[in-house]
Structure 1
Amino acid sequence: MSKVIFKYILFLSFLISNASIYGQIDSDRFEVLEYQELETKKSLVKNGDKEALQNYNQLLKCADELLDSKPFSVVHKTGMPPSKDKHDYISIGPYWWPNPDTDDGLPYIRKDGEINPEARNNHTDFVEMRDFLRAIKQLTEAYYLSDKEIYAIRAIDLIKIWFLDAETRMNPNLDYSQSIPGKNDGRCFGIIELDGITDVIKFLELAKDRNLLDVKTEEGMSDWLIAYSDWLKNSELGHEESTRKNNHGTHYDVQLLSILLYLNKKDEVRDYLNSITKARIISQIEPDGSQPLELARTKSFSYSVMNLHGFLELAQIGEKVGVNLWEFESKDGRSIKKGYQFMVPFLIGEKQWEHKQIKDRKSSEKKLLADLVTVKKWFNDTSFDEVLKRVQLNKQ
């Protein structure tokens, strides 16, 4: 384990040992937003924790830069969607490259896990939307930790520009996402690129709770989210993504259900979790906890963690509507918990990861550790306490 991950473990240990502070937070007021991690960071800053203060100062630096930065919009791209409407989002499948066997490079060919730089430039919207969603997340955290309304006001301005203003708004669809030159204009797999919509929803909840969200913006965003969720449920690409049997299907559920929860459609969320999501757990996770479709990828450790994180988010949504996904288990032992138990020996070095992993996995280890803390915090499950303690002791 690296020093960075060890430091993160110390922070996670603080979360566990200070779990009592969470009782002070009225989480029932919120459908999607969770205050716990932000509240802990705020407490560390107030208490003068050196590392927390460094991170806090860096965060405010980034947030201050966003106050005067150029706003984000889909109309800034140099490319043009097949619809000839700049307001439609476009992107290229990241793992698709020019064909070396044809003069024009078409049709593109796939290299799993290897990102084509062409998919990460201003010809498409991917980078612009990634930066926009990151900005909303940073401004949300900066506002919460500092209590400076200027950050929240800036976030509202950026949201209005991206989603609502007539000249700059994004149309509520992803019809042309993750296209493959020479093959198609868009694929269902591009839906995962808007995963960060949950961060926008969390900010909207926070801004409304603090009486900062004006009625026009709130109603406009509700209309946009209704239209987009209808597209997710009824479009050809949305339906196709909902049937994916790997992490794409899982994160489709997270995205759709987070939106429906924000729109107060709890009965629909509850029915979906009890039927489709439970079936997804059974189909994707083996009785031993392995995830075959993720293990088949060139970044198998990373994708295994990514998919489990999505399932954990769904379990958290389930807690909001009375569906216990964390304890759910099939007759032959398939469950989210079993998936995490499968990964633990590889995290603590008891077993060697024998599947393909062409990229560094440190960030995935960090996410896995954070998930184990979330398990305790949300579900009062102490199963992984010894794992966290062991990782910490191994570095002392």
Structure 2
Amino acid sequence: MRRAESVASAAKLIALVVLILTTANMLALRSFFCLPMPGDGYDEYPGRPVEASGKEGAKKQNIDVSIEGIDPFYTSDETLESITRSKQASGQTTSSLSNGSYTRSMVVVRAIGNPLSSTNSSNKPLRILEYILENEPAFPNTTRHWFLNRITDAQVEKAIVQRLKSSNETYTIIPFSLREYDNVLYSFDSKDTIHSKHYIKRSAEEKAATLVEETVQQSKIRYVANINGARNAMLRYGKKNSAAEYILPWDGHCFLTREAWDAIQFSMQKYPEAKYFTSPIRLHEGSIDANVTEEPQIAFHRTALAQYNEYLRFGRRDKAELLTRIGVKGQWDEGIPWEDWELDFVEREQAADSVSGVPDAGWAACVHSGIENGGKLGTKILKLNRRGHNLSAQLVRLDIRASQELHGLSSSTLLYYKESQLAEERELWKAGKRLPLVKELLELANKALSFGPWSVMDKRGFGCGVSGDCHDYFHVAPYQWPTLNSTGYTDYSKPFVLRDGERAPGTVAFSEGSEKYDRTKLLAMKFNTTVLALAYSVTGNITYARRAAENLRHWFIYNETRMNANINFAQIKWDVEKREMFGSPCGLIEMKDLYFFLDGVKLIEKSGALSESEIDQLRNWFANYLQWLLSSEQGRWQISANNNHGLFYDVQVAPLALYAGNLPLAISRMQRSISRIRRQMNATTGALPHELRRPICEHYQAFTLQGWITMARMAEKIGLNYWKRFADSDAPNKETALCRAVRYANPYLSRRAVCPGNIDGIDARRWQPILLDALHHCPMLDYKSTSGQNNVLIPPELIDPPLNHYEITGLFNMSDGIGPFWNLGLY
């Protein structure tokens, strides 16, 4: 009886042991496959599930599922070191470590990202992956997992996933979102360095050395590269989805050789209390490992506290900051000092769990990725800048993608007028709803049918200007008064006299004497052609489009009448040193109206009134003009102007580049122009000091703000909102820069006096379009609380302006910088 009870007890004990071992082995199995432990859900990146390799993956990696994740055996350091050395000396490819004894459990997690070098083809990450999968052996108690880190090319990502699946590898996708990327803004300093004269004059290499572009692009680069974000995600994965004792979040081009794995295991056994290990880089070319001075790879114990700093700029201490924080010294911490902006969000004190030291652990064999990392910052800065230059090129491609795929941008997109809104206004017309504004447009368009065409050749009766070629555009500077000869004509061999604010005879558009120059004819051609184009758009009457097309042929296409594609002789001035006339950089502003005119041209193109050949000729003309503008002395000066001229350079270049098919330049100007506003305005008050110095300061305040509104209106076509940039965090309502500038200057929003020294009259009505846009975009503004009878700038009959844009006139002075019928195709 007693014996039977003993047998029964033994059987129960055996069953309990079997149950315990079974449970332990199940947990161990989950550990080996890098699968979530019971009760753990993995939803780090929702919608993109982790694909596990399962049993096939375990077989491929030769995982001994009977071995626990943590080695239960004890071997002294001396014995372990002796075993390792003897096996290496004998040249054996396996050791007691690689056979499974005395091993620490590890999970190697690697990130595959976008190629960062101009020498890298888009499939370079796939080729590196292929190499590692074919050459990295399987090791006991060691699993691997892959992260696809914001790969921007969907086809490349698909090919990598297919390759991983074919090898039964597990992976996680950190998705690249074009919309998320598009929502990340470029960063601009308050000095507007990118438009300063000393910066504009520098070569591409010199610009790279200043790190200005790095500052501008830092946020977008950080999103695309996501280097420390991915490293931390790999750390979290290893701790949450694996029971491995050590997590190796390595770069995607690094792998383990058998000797490196043995050496890493040896160090981990020798220093069991260490929370971090470093593995120096060896570039692996075939069977040759070459030591390099790059930043080492880091291994973390699963209880390690430190992680990577995700706020650091890419390529500038993104790994070195952590190495410094855990007490690892090297060339990466020498050379360039820490900048103030870096110190704002880094912790310089050593991590508490690394004070006992960070041992080396073997090495990381790395395939050459086409880029060089880390090293001594003082000596490797140019390499970092080259990498930044390559990333810049990638940002250009992504900006184009976002503009096209998210915002529908093309060379035929209207920038100033909103085509969808014009279509709605056309439907209203067809439905018999006659808006007063449209009636005003058609009345003017009917008159325009009998005007023109115009040509630069029309000045032949007065001479062809200083060049002697009547095909050259010619106009004198408006505030430069000429010396007259004995017959009363301008003597171009004599100096002009500056009278700022006082226009010389013939320089006022449509005034007596203006027929000697080309400005009045150019204004008439642009204005009437655009009016005709809008009339066609609203009514569908092809007669308007055909007349506008003839204007374009006469000015740009016909050999006898076409203008040369430059304005070398716009706003000519006297060069004191050379004692001759020269075209002033300020003359570029006479082509500022391209923002509305080219929209009109596109409407005519879409009407069919121009042949394909004529459209090609038109676009070639503007492409040639753009090339002149970018390479001319005038253009190089105007891009760096710190007043309205710099702004109107952008107002001209953005639509011009788009029409000429240079999408990168068009997008760049719209992205970067907003940087100018903080240099142009007083950050505290919103005043425009450069315009307030002028004798006709009231005009220039309104003119400049109108330019900003025009630029904002165009930038909306690629998803940018100028009205929300540079918010003042100290202001109760977080007022933004453009809203503040409008509030300060607009008499409907500010009870202010006439600006000091103003010698011109004031047209308060021309502030109404600015008021309307400001109230639409700046909810903190309230004109009713600031306007009233006491405002000396606004006549009583204009105190309460119409706030429906269709009720405000569509026509203003051509010098005001307001497009004709600005309130059509608006919102």
Please indicate the TM-score interval, normalised by the length of the shorter structure: 0.7 to 0.9
Q: 1:38 touches 1:145 (CA, 8 Å); kept in 2?
A: yes
Residue 415 of structure 2: which of 32, 36, 46 is its match?
32
Deviation, 1:356, is: 2.9
Counterpart code for 1:335: A
Aligned to 2:743: 341
Deviation, 1:91, is: 0.4
Deviation, 1:149, is: 0.9
Q: 1:147-166 to 2 correspondence within 5 Å?
A: 147-166=540-559
Counterpart code for 2:501: G
2:467 is paired with a residue whose SS is coil
Q: 1:81-92 to 2 correspondence within 5 Å?
A: 81-92=465-476
1:91 is paired with a residue whose SS is strand
Q: Give the whole-Å Cα distance in 2 for the aligned partners of 1:238 and 1:42.
A: 42
Q: Do structure 1's residue 62 and structure 2's residue 463 form an aligned pair?
A: no
Residue 652 of structure 2: which of 255, 276, 284 is its match?
255
Deviation, 1:278, is: 3.3
Q: Give the whole-Å Cα distance in 2 for the aligned partners of 1:334 and 1:289.
A: 10
Q: 1:189 touches 1:248 (CA, 8 Å); kept in 2?
A: yes
2:562 is paired with a residue whose SS is coil
Residue 433 of structure 2: which of 27, 47, 60 is its match?
47
Deviation, 1:193, is: 0.8
Residue 502 of structure 2: which of 102, 114, 126 is its match?
114
Deviation, 1:366, is: 3.2
CA deviations on 1:327-347 (whole Å, 9 max, x unpaired) are 111779872222111123x23
1:185 is paired with a residue whose SS is strand
Relative distance call for 1:151 and 1:273 in structure 2 (3 A) is closer
Q: Give the whole-Å Cα distance in 1 for the aligned partners of 2:474 and 2:556.
A: 15
CA deviations on 1:8-56 (whole Å, 9 max, x unpaired) are xxxxxxxxxxxxxxxxxx997724251447965995894355x547624
Q: Give the whole-Å Cα distance in 1 for the aligned partners of 2:758 and 2:783.
A: 27
Q: Which has the higher contact order (CA 8 A, sep 6+)?
A: 1
Q: Do structure 1's residue 146 and structure 2's residue 146 form an aligned pair?
A: no
Q: Do structure 1's residue 270 and structure 2's residue 653 form an aligned pair?
A: no
1:366 is paired with a residue whose SS is helix
Relative distance call for 1:388 and 1:305 in structure 2 (3 A) is farther
Residue 520 of structure 2: which of 113, 127, 132 is its match?
127
Q: 2:743 touches 2:750 (CA, 8 Å); kept in 1?
A: no
Counterpart code for 1:278: I
Aligned to 2:455: 73
1:65 is paired with a residue whose SS is coil
Residue 680 of structure 2: which of 281, 284, 292 is its match?
284
Q: Do structure 1's residue 361 and structure 2's residue 771 form an aligned pair?
A: no
Q: 1:90 touches 1:178 (CA, 8 Å); kept in 2?
A: yes
CA deviations on 1:159-196 (whole Å, 9 max, x unpaired) are 01101111111111110110135752311111111122
Residue 176 of structure 1: which of 548, 563, 569 is its match?
569
Q: Give the whole-Å Cα distance in 2 for the aligned partners of 1:299 and 1:37.
A: 35
Q: Give the whole-Å Cα distance in 2 for the aligned partners of 1:324 and 1:53.
A: 28
Counterpart code for 2:712: A
Q: Give the whole-Å Cα distance in 1 for the aligned partners of 2:483 and 2:679.
A: 34
Q: 2:688 touches 2:741 (CA, 8 Å); kept in 1?
A: yes
Counterpart code for 1:262: Y
2:444 is paired with a residue whose SS is helix
Q: Give the whole-Å Cα distance in 2 for the aligned partners of 1:216 and 1:111.
A: 46
Larger displacement relative to structure 2 (353-362 or 298-307): 353-362
Larger displacement relative to structure 2 (204-213 or 280-289): 204-213
Q: 1:281 touches 1:334 (CA, 8 Å); kept in 2?
A: no
Return the structure number with greater helix share. Answer: 1
Q: Give the whole-Å Cα distance in 2 for the aligned partners of 1:395 and 1:291.
A: 24
Q: 2:654 touches 2:667 (CA, 8 Å); kept in 1?
A: no
Deviation, 1:389, is: 11
Deviation, 1:143, is: 2.2
Q: 1:80 touches 1:86 (CA, 8 Å); kept in 2?
A: yes
Identical amino acids, percent of aligned pairs? 23
Structure 1 runs of 4+ aligned residues shifted over 6 Å read: 26-29, 102-105, 330-334, 388-393
Which ranges of structure 2 fall in alignment gaps of 5 or more residues?
Answer: 1-406, 508-512, 730-734, 789-797, 803-827
1:178 is paired with a residue whose SS is strand
Residue 310 of structure 1: which of 704, 707, 711 is its match?
707
Relative distance call for 1:178 and 1:395 in structure 2 (3 A) is closer
2:570 is paired with a residue whose SS is strand
| CA-based RMSD | 3.4
Relative distance call for 1:292 and 1:386 in structure 2 (3 A) is closer
Aligned to 1:13: none
Q: Give the whole-Å Cα distance in 2 for the aligned partners of 1:338 and 1:376.
A: 12
Relative distance call for 1:189 and 1:395 in structure 2 (3 A) is closer
Which ranges of structure 1 fall in alignment gaps of 5 or more residues?
Answer: 1-25
Residue 621 of structure 2: which of 220, 224, 246 is its match?
224
2:603 is paired with a residue whose SS is helix
CA deviations on 1:60-100 (whole Å, 9 max, x unpaired) are 4422322xx4x211111122243332111110011111459
Q: 2:592 touches 2:652 (CA, 8 Å); kept in 1?
A: yes
CA deviations on 1:235-275 (whole Å, 9 max, x unpaired) are 11111121211111111110001111233433333333444
1:184 is paired with a residue whose SS is strand
Q: 2:691 touches 2:700 (CA, 8 Å); kept in 1?
A: yes
Deviation, 1:309, is: 1.2
Relative distance call for 1:162 and 1:358 in structure 2 (3 A) is same
Relative distance call for 1:191 and 1:309 in structure 2 (3 A) is same
Aligned to 1:236: 633
Q: 1:295 touches 1:304 (CA, 8 Å); kept in 2?
A: yes
CA deviations on 1:268-325 (whole Å, 9 max, x unpaired) are 33333444x2332121111111011100111111101111111122222222223332
Counterpart code for 2:603: L
Q: 1:285 touches 1:336 (CA, 8 Å); kept in 2?
A: no
CA deviations on 1:361-380 (whole Å, 9 max, x unpaired) are 21xx3343213323555x5x
Counterpart code for 1:58: E
Which of 1 and 2 has greater Rg? 2
Return the structure number with greater strand share. Answer: 2
Q: 1:298 touches 1:357 (CA, 8 Å); kept in 2?
A: yes
Relative distance call for 1:56 and 1:99 in structure 2 (3 A) is closer
Q: 2:415 touches 2:599 (CA, 8 Å); kept in 1?
A: yes
Q: Give the whole-Å Cα distance in 2 for the aligned partners of 1:217 and 1:299.
A: 42
Q: Give the whole-Å Cα distance in 2 for the aligned partners of 1:266 and 1:180.
A: 34
Aligned to 1:12: none
1:180 is paired with a residue whose SS is strand
Counterpart code for 1:350: R
Deviation, 1:131, is: 1.6
Q: Give the whole-Å Cα distance in 2 for the aligned partners of 1:129 and 1:274.
A: 29
Q: Give the structure-2-normalised TM-score.
A: 0.40
Q: What is the count of residue pairs matched by the alignment?
A: 360
Q: 1:18-29 to 2 correspondence within 5 Å?
A: none
Relative distance call for 1:203 and 1:354 in structure 2 (3 A) is closer
Q: 1:38 touches 1:141 (CA, 8 Å); kept in 2?
A: no
Aligned to 2:724: 327
Q: Give the whole-Å Cα distance in 2 for the aligned partners of 1:147 and 1:274.
A: 34
